[in-house]
């Protein structure tokens, strides 16, 4: 089982969106039983909370239901559980490096490192912006999800 953790600040906008979008890509590729996906926030502001209503409605417009997700905080134990720990922006990548155990084997990096169509390197925080920000978050995440899936498939196909 390959395990992927997406991480943002609050775990109510970007990383839960990445979780549901990437899960859909896995379903389409018939890899849902091979790749496990979760999301978390580097801060505890929204632990136990459902995704932001604006994130839910942007995802619903693309046919994805994210209402069952609940916020949780990333911990150092995640580094022993996940193969990929992918941050939405540099601030959260730094937050993760601060709690990363020295012997971690996880691939830790920026999610948009797997993007192809977009040249942006960070998924911008949509929390204080308008609804258009959530659509752009989805576009970036869809793009990077395709690249990440390719990378994981390459590893699965390797002898
Ligand atoms: P997220 O967005 O990191 O994409 O979940 C945010 C959610 C909440 C806050 C900031 C960003 N906040 O300041 O409460």
Question: Per the confidence metrics, is the pTM higher than 0.95?
Answer: yes
- In CATH, 2-157 is 3.20.20.80: no
| For the chain, domain boundaries | 2-157
pLDDT score of 159 more than 80 = no
Cβ 124 under 6 angstroms from ligand 1: no
Q: Identify the band that residue 93 occupies on the pLDDT scale cut at 50, 70 and 90.
A: very high
pLDDT for the residue 103: 96
Q: What are phi and psi of 46, to 5 degrees?
A: -120, 30
| Closest protein CA for atom 12 of ligand 1 | 10
For the chain, percent of residues with pLDDT exceeding 90: 95
Cβ 51 under 6 angstroms from ligand 1: no
35-86 pLDDT tens trace: 999 999 999 999 999 999 999 999 999 999 999 999 999 999 999 999 999 9
pLDDT score of 158 more than 90 = no
Across the range 140-148, mean pLDDT stands at 98
Closest by Cα among 133, 101, 130, 131 to 120: 133
pLDDT score of 23 more than 90 = yes
Give the span between the Cα atoms of 134 and 24, in whole angstroms. 18
| Closest protein CA for atom 3 of ligand 1 | 9
């Amino acid at each position: 089982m390959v395990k992927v953790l997406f991480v943002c600040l609050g775990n109510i906008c970007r990383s839960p969106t990445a979780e549901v979008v990437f899960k859909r890509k896995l379903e389409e590729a018939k890899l849902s039983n091979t790749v496990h996906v979760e999301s978390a926030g580097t801060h505890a502001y929204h632990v136990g909370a459902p995704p932001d209503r604006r994130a839910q409605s942007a995802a619903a417009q693309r046919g994805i239901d994210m209402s069952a997700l609940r916020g949780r905080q990333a911990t150092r134990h995640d580094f022993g559980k996940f193969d990929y720990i992918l941050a939405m922006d540099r601030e959260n990548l730094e937050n993760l490096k601060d709690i990363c155990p020295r012997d971690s084997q996880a691939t830790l990096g920026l999610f948009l490192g797997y993007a192809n169509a977009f040249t942006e390197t960070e998924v911008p925080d949509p929390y204080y912006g308008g609804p258009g920000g959530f659509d752009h978050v989805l576009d970036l995440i869809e793009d990077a999800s395709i690249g990440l899936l390719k990378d994981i498939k390459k590893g699965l196909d390797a002898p």
